[in-house]
A = this chain, B = another copy of it.
Amino acid sequence: MMRAFPQMEKNATVMQPHRQAFANRRRDPATKREAILQTAAHLFLEKGYGRTLMNDVADRLNITKPALYHYFSNKEEILLECYRWGTALIEDKLNQIAAQKGTGLEKVEAFVYEYANVMTVNFGRCVMRLDESDLSPKARAEVRGYKRKIDRRLRSFIQEGIDDDSITRCDPRMAAFSTAGAVNWICMWYKPEGPLAPEEIAAQFARMLTHGLAARRKRRATQPHGSRKVQQQMSGVTS
């Protein structure tokens, strides 16, 4: 099994606002473009795409609205680019996993781990949290293509596992929905400032979703229950 769970780059928005990118006129245009994207992604997640005004984005970057149109031809293109960056993050990881050795179950476990990590990064969150129907049909089709690829990868891992007996017999389609759903949902409740570290979430999800909640037979009667913690102030299942 892949033991080395590599570190995911921390969510840049949290660590460093991108408002400096436009401070200097002679800055790399690509840097500015990314600054716009990071800011937009942040706002899209915070207020929703529809309620995020071009002005909001511009204001955060201390530039004017029309300046945005130097880098993106319209609002939707910003949205689409967020999707692209997010899906690229995911695909990257999946390719690595697919290239590695291991049972199907191990690959699923790795998938969950890596995917969960991406779901804590703004661009990754955008992929699953934002509403596709804000995209034009053409752009939507593109995004759906990316998502389908992810889905196919997961299903293939599951199928591998069924074939190599590491995964119990089941409908791989449903198993994929269930597994991916749990991980996707992270993007709905994860908060960068929250108490849970991305890696911790990822590791726990990886185990739970592969080995289940049910206790194995013959567990010792007395357990330390060490993992139970006082429940912090956290909103619930959804937000």
* Chain A window 210-239, contacts with chain B (Cβ cutoff 8 Å), 1 for yes, 0 for no: 111111100101011111110100111111
Residues of B within 8 A of A89 (CB): none
Number of A residues near B (Cβ < 8 Å) is 78
Across the interface, name the chain B residue whose C-beta is closest to A187.
B181
Across the interface, name the chain B residue whose C-beta is closest to A183.
B181
Residues of B within 8 A of A150 (CB): 236-237
Across the interface, name the chain B residue whose C-beta is closest to A169.
B223
Let me know if A179 is at the binding interface, CB within 8 A.
Answer: yes
* Chain A window 176-208, contacts with chain B (Cβ cutoff 8 Å), 1 for yes, 0 for no: 111111111110110000001000010011001
Let me know if A54 is at the binding interface, CB within 8 A.
Answer: no
Looking at A105, A152, A170, A178, which has the most chain B CB atoms within 10 Å of its CB? Answer: A178
Whether A151 and B236, one on each chain, are in contact in the complex, defined by CB atoms closer than 8 angstroms, is yes
Let me know if A174 is at the binding interface, CB within 8 A.
Answer: yes
For chain A, what secondary structure do more than half of its interface residues adopt (helix, strand, loop), or is it mixed?
helix
- C-alpha spacing A201/B205, complex, angstroms: 21
Beyond the given pairs A48-B50, A170-B227, 16 more chain A to chain B contacts, judged by CB atoms under 8 angstroms and listed by A's residue number, are A47-B133, A147-B236, A149-B236, A150-B236, A151-B237, A161-B215, A162-B225, A168-B212, A177-B185, A181-B184, A181-B188, A182-B182, A184-B188, A184-B238, A208-B212, A210-B214
> Can you list 21 contacts pairing A with B, beta carbon distance less than 8 Å?
A46-B133, A50-B51, A51-B133, A147-B239, A148-B235, A150-B237, A154-B237, A159-B228, A162-B225, A168-B212, A168-B216, A170-B213, A171-B229, A173-B234, A174-B196, A177-B186, A177-B189, A178-B204, A209-B213, A210-B212, A210-B213
